[in-house]
Amino acid sequence: QSEIRKKLIDAFTKSKEEYLSGQYLANLIGCSRTAVWKHIEELRKEGFELEAVRRKGYRITKTPEKVTPDEIRLGLQTETLGRQIHHEESVDSTQKIAHRLAYEGAQEGTVIIAEEQLSGRGRMDRRWHSPKSTGVWMSVILRPNIPPPKAPQLTLITAVAVVQAIEELTDLTPQIKWPNDILMNGKKVTGILTELQADADRIISIIIGIGINVNQELDDYPDELKDIATSISIEKGEKLSRAELIRVLLAKLENLYKLYLDKGFYPIKLLWESYAVSIGKNLTARTITGSIYGKALGITEDGVLMIEDSSGKVHHVYSADIEL
Ligand code: BT5
Of 128, 136, 139, the one to substitute when testing ligand 1's pocket (max ligand atoms within 8 A of C-beta) is 128
CA angle 170, 130, 128 (to 5 degrees): 105
Pocket of ligand 1 (CB under 6 A): 93-95, 117, 120-123, 126-130, 137-139, 180, 188, 191-193, 209-211, 213, 225, 229
**What confidence score (pLDDT) does residue 55 get?**
93
- 204 and 198 in contact (C-beta within 8 Å)? yes
Answer yes or no: do 78 and 224 share one domain.
Answer: yes
Please list the ranges in the chain whose pLDDT falls under 50: none
Residue nearest to atom 15 of ligand 1 (CA): 121
How many angstroms does the Cα of residue 126 sit away from the middle of ligand 1? 7
Domain boundary at 62, 90, 110, which? 62
Answer yes or no: do 35 and 135 share one domain.
Answer: no
φ, ψ (nearest 5 deg) of residue 83: -75, -25
The atom of ligand 1 lying closest to the CA of 122 is 2
Answer yes or no: do 7 and 99 share one domain.
Answer: no
Answer yes or no: do 102 and 193 share one domain.
Answer: yes
Give the domain CATH number at 317. Answer: 2.30.30.100
Answer yes or no: do 157 and 98 share one domain.
Answer: yes
Give the domain CATH number at 139. Answer: 3.30.930.10
Residue nearest to atom 35 of ligand 1 (CA): 229
How many angstroms does the Cα of residue 224 sit away from the middle of ligand 1? 13
**What confidence score (pLDDT) does residue 1 get?**
65
How many angstroms does the Cα of residue 206 sit away from the middle of ligand 1? 18
Q: Which long-range contacts (CB under 8 A, 24 or more apart) does 226-230 make?
A: 227/187, 228/187, 228/188, 229/129, 229/187, 229/188, 229/189, 230/184, 230/185, 230/187, 230/188, 230/189
**Residue 7 sits in which domain range?**
2-62
Answer yes or no: do 290 and 271 share one domain.
Answer: no
**What confidence score (pLDDT) does residue 63 get?**
75
Give the count of domains, the chain. Answer: 3
Give the domain CATH number at 18. Answer: 1.10.10.10
Distance between CA atoms of residues 264 and 302, nearest Å:
10
Domain boundary at 13, 36, 62, which? 62
Q: Is 84 helix (H, G, I), strand (E, B) or coil?
A: coil
How many angstroms does the Cα of residue 228 sit away from the middle of ligand 1? 11
Answer yes or no: do 8 and 105 share one domain.
Answer: no
- 36 and 22 in contact (C-beta within 8 Å)? yes
- 246 and 138 in contact (C-beta within 8 Å)? yes
Distance between CA atoms of residues 117 and 295, nearest Å:
37
Distance between CA atoms of residues 181 and 58, nearest Å:
43
Domain boundary at 62, 82, 99, which? 62
The atom of ligand 1 lying closest to the CA of 95 is 12
- 86 and 70 in contact (C-beta within 8 Å)? no
The atom of ligand 1 lying closest to the CA of 93 is 14
Q: Is 94 helix (H, G, I), strand (E, B) or coil?
A: helix
Quick one: which of 263, 250, 222, 122 has its CA closest to 179?
122
**What confidence score (pLDDT) does residue 138 get?**
98
- 138 and 113 in contact (C-beta within 8 Å)? yes
How many angstroms does the Cα of residue 231 sit away from the middle of ligand 1? 13
- 67 and 96 in contact (C-beta within 8 Å)? no
Residue nearest to atom 28 of ligand 1 (CA): 128
Answer yes or no: do 300 and 179 share one domain.
Answer: no
How many angstroms does the Cα of residue 103 sit away from the middle of ligand 1? 24
Answer yes or no: do 256 and 155 share one domain.
Answer: yes
Answer yes or no: do 137 and 264 share one domain.
Answer: yes
Answer yes or no: do 17 and 91 share one domain.
Answer: no
Answer yes or no: do 44 and 92 share one domain.
Answer: no
Quick one: which of 202, 140, 155 has its CA closest to 299?
155
